[in-house]
Copies of this chain bind each other. A is one copy, B any other.
Amino acid sequence: MKKLGKQTIKFDTPPTILETASIVGPKEADGPLAKYFDKCLEDEFWGEKTWEKAESKIIKETVNTVIGKSGIATSDIEYCFAGDLLNQCISSSFGLRELNIPFFGIFGACSTFVEGLSLAAVFCEGGIKKVLCAASSHFCSAEKQFRFPLELGNQRPPTSQWTVTGAGSAIISSTGEGPYITTMTTGKIVDMGIKDGNNMGAAMAPAALDTLITHFHDTGRSPNYYDAIITGDLGHIGKEILTELAQDKGFNIKSNYNDCGVLIFDKDQQDTHSGGSGCGCCGSVFSGYLYEQMKNRKIKRLLLMATGALMNATSSQQGESIPGIAHAISIEF
């Protein structure tokens, strides 16, 4: 691999995203991307007694699905990178505890899925043949943990986003027919002082801008190099902010930029305010919708950039701002 600038790696033998899988909840099943997911659940529990156990089951079954679809034996997968939003990432560790694959837990908030793909790509470049990546989130477990008990029926402000119930998983392979992970631009933590936990889009947009511009500088590419530039979960408000900020810096992304949190829900019909969020948002939208678009060559060059808000409930109570981070990978044929 080769460093381009300070933050980007270009892979000499770009690894292939061999297969993906996604499972989502009932609200996502009512959204415009329903047909692209491997499975849509009828309720938020999936037969489990708690939301946390349901989320573990979702990531577990998503991983089982991607392994099944790939036709690869589990024992041939050499490493797993996984993470989620629950405290101490228990969705991943409980969901994947029977997997029997060397396991690296990762935490990048909603940027986790692309963080995993980035690390997997570095491992493949180093000679590892097959790596599994997964990330999940769950609306109910996230609301309970980060905001208020759902039973309160709190009103949600217009800037708030709806945590996606779902998981995405991908198998990265050192050989294959593509789509290939060609470059990765790893984000720095960026904190512009936003303190409103109900306005994550605004908190994460400056980190997305930083990584986006760095990616263009490091690679010498311009926005129109890509068929699509897709952020993880800035939502409607964050998407608008990023578009404006990029324009101010001289990068026009208006024609080919969208966001997983915007794509996954119908803004008019589904009452999700600023759109979707959560590790499972980018995870499921990429593993479902975007991967199929690439396989069908409707998108040949994708810049996938997942964004994360690195806070918790305690930090907000203690008056802290919300640091953001964004990790980008280019995926190409």
Contacts and interface: CB of A to CB of B under 8 A. Distances in A.
A140 to B, nearest CB: 12
Interface string A1-38: 11100110000000000000000000000000000000
A119 interface: yes
A136 to B, nearest CB: 14
Contact of A52 (B93, B97, B188, B314): B314
A317 to B, nearest CB: 9
A162 interface: no
B109 A88 contact: yes
Interface residues of A, number: 60
A104 B119 contact: yes
Contacts of A226: none
A147 to B, nearest CB: 14
Interface string A279-312: 0000000000000000000000000000000111
Residue in A1, A3, A87, A109 with the greatest tally of chain B CB atoms within 10 Å: A87
A101 B187 CA distance: 8
B189 A99 contact: yes
B311 A53 contact: no
B186 A103 contact: yes
A100 interface: yes
- Please provide the 3 A-B residue pairs with the shortest distance between their CB atoms, ordered closest to farther: A93-B310, A102-B186, A88-B312
Interface of A: 1-3, 6-7, 49-50, 52-53, 75, 78-79, 83, 85-90, 93-94, 96-97, 99-109, 115, 118-119, 122-123, 125-128, 145, 186-191, 310-315, 318, 320, 323, 325
8 contacts: A3-B127, A87-B313, A88-B109, A90-B311, A93-B310, A99-B189, A105-B107, A125-B126
